[in-house]
Structure 1
Amino acid sequence: MTRTTTGETPFKLAFGTKVVIPVEVGMLSLRRTCYDEHNYDKGLKLAFDCLPEVRDDAAQRMALYQERMTKYYNQRVKLKHFNPRNMKLRKVSQATKDPSEGKLGPNWEGQYKVVRYSRRGSYYLEDANGKPFPRPWNAEHLKKYYQ
């Protein structure tokens, strides 16, 4: 099956030719009826000689595909910006969720202050008592607290 990123099958990138599946061996096909061993060896040698070019083309197509996917993703990402000292709520994770509350428990917890901005989309928080959290939190796990 041809891959979207490379435009080639993994077998062709490895061996330089198309794979012959077992079903095709047992059936009459154009590929089997036109088989000529002498010309096949020449074609196979040519395919092996051209294999680095095929791999380079596949690498270029893969790089273009990755650029398009990155551009598509970045167009749709909406970064959240929080000002320091604003109050925020933190999403309750499976690790911090109280199992006795079940699925009807709260999805957001606390009133936390943003202490500082670490890097793109991550913030250091502290609780209402002024105790800071040891690690930063991603902006997607925070939301503004309205008083």
Structure 2
Amino acid sequence: MGETPFSLTYGAEAVIPAEINLCSARVVGFAPDENEKLMVKQLNLLEEHREVATIRPTEYPQKLARRYNRVGRKREFAAGDLVLRKVIGNTQDVNAGKLALSWEGPYRVTAIVGAGAYNLEDLKEKLLHRPWNVHNLKKFYH
């Protein structure tokens, strides 16, 4: 939420004893008269800080959804589309290291099996043995 529970309750940040003994930057600049003025000002703004803190948790999912909807792309393929397939698990070249290919293909979509699942064949018309999920495919542009 951007605020500590202590600051929402008491309107100030806590200073732990270790900070006082080690003369941290927060303690070195301490001036009692200036602190009193700032504490009164903070108390006047305390209710506003609490309101902002209660708004943030509801605002975050909305921001997240807007970003996802802006950046996220829905992928749908039709029969006959050319796609690339993500290289996963044991199909990766062990000796290539971090320079290994992450996509292979192209493959042709032969049929839509279900929600987001597709049967594929290579360009020599050899069918792949299992359906592939839409998350492991991307459009091939040639």
TM-score interval (norm. to shorter): 0.5 to 0.7
Q: Matches of residues 82-121 of structure 1 in structure 2 within 5 Å?
A: 82-93=77-88, 95-101=90-96, 103=99, 107-109=103-105, 111-113=107-109, 115-116=111-112, 118-119=114-115
Alignment of 1:1-147 (within 5 A): 6-9=1-4, 11-12=6-7, 17-20=12-15, 22=19, 23=24, 26-27=27-28, 29-30=30-31, 32-33=32-33, 54=50, 57-93=52-88, 95-101=90-96, 103=99, 107-109=103-105, 111-113=107-109, 115-116=111-112, 118-119=114-115, 122-127=116-121, 128-129=126-127, 131-133=129-131, 136-138=133-135, 141-144=137-140
Please give the secondary structure, in 1, of the residue aligned with 2:94.
coil
Measured after TM superposition, the shift of residue 97 of structure 1 is: 0.9
Higher helix share: 2
The residue type paired with residue 15 of structure 2 is V
TM-score normalised by L of structure 2 = 0.55
One-letter amino acid of the structure 2 residue matched with residue 131 of structure 1: H
Equivalent in the alignment of 1:40: none
Q: Which runs of 5+ in 2 are unaligned?
A: 37-42
Unpaired segments ≥5 residues, structure 1: 1-5, 37-42
Shift >6 Å, 4+ stretches: none
- Aligned CA-pair RMSD: 4.1
Matched AA of 1:29? F
* Number of matched pairs: 124
- Amino acid across the alignment from 1:113: V
Aligned to 1:39: none
SS at match of 2:91: coil
Identity %: 20
Distance in 2 (alpha carbons) for counterparts of 1:67 and 1:76: 14
Q: How far apart are the structure 2 equivalents of 1:25 and 1:10?
A: 19
